[in-house]
Amino acid sequence: MNRVLICAGLLVMGAASATAADSSFPGDPGRPFDGLPFPPGPLPPRPPERPLPKSPPIDLALQAARAIVAACNRYHVAVSVIDSSGTPKLYYIPDGTDGSHAYTGFRKAYTALSFKMPTSQVGQLTKTDPAMAVRVKADTNFLTFAGGLLIKSGTEIIGALGVSGAEPSAKDEECGLAGLEKINGALARKR
- Coil vs helix vs strand at 52: coil
Using pLDDT thresholds of 50, 70 and 90, give the confidence band for residue 116. Answer: very high
User: Three-state DSSP class for 36?
Assistant: coil
| Listed residue (62, 157, 74) closest to 118, CA to CA | 157
Q: Give me the mean pLDDT over the 12-37 stretch.
A: 59
Say whether pTM exceeds 0.85. Answer: no
Number of H helices, E strands in the chain: 5, 5
The yes-or-no verdict on residue 41 having pLDDT over 80 is yes
Q: Which residues contact 29 (CB under 8 A, 6 or more apart)?
A: 13, 16, 18, 19, 20, 23
4 CB neighbour count, 10 Å cutoff: 13
Answer for the pair 149, 160: CB distance below 8 angstroms, yes or no.
yes
Q: pLDDT tens digits, residue range 162-171?
A: 999 999 999 9
CB count within 10 Å of CB 69 equals: 24
Confidence of residue 19 (pLDDT cuts 50, 70, 90): very low
**pLDDT band at residue 23, thresholds of 50, 70 and 90?**
low
